[in-house]
Amino acid sequence: MQTDNRIIDDIARLAASAVGTLQGARHEVEGAFRARLERILADMNLVSREEFEVVKAMAAAAREENEQLKERIAALEAKPAP
C-alpha cells in the first residue's frame, strides 16, 4: 500500500512539473510571438489611433468649410450683377 502511494505521489509530482514546464514554455512562445508581431507592425509604418483621429477631425472640418463655401458661392451667383 505504501509503495502505491509513493508511485502515485511521484506521478503527481511529475505531472505537476510537466504542467509547470509547459506553462513556462507557453509564456515564452507568447512573448516571442508578441515581440515578432510588434516588429512586423512597426515595419508596416502604420499610423497610430491618435494620428488617425486628428486627420479624421481635420477632414471633417475641411468638409464643413467646403459646404459653407459652396453655399456662399451659390448665394453670390444668385445675386444679380450690378
> Would you list the domain boundaries of the chain?
1-46, 47-82
Q: Please report which confidence band the pLDDT of residue 1 belongs to, taking 50, 70 and 90 as the band edges.
A: very low
| 14-43 mean pLDDT | 90
All residues at 6 or more sequence positions from 55 whose CB lies less than 8 Å from its CB, including other chains = 47
Separation between Cα atoms, residue 25 and residue 52, nearest integer Å: 37
**Distance (Å, whole) CA 67 – CA 81:** 24
Question: What does the pLDDT read at residue 6?
Answer: 85
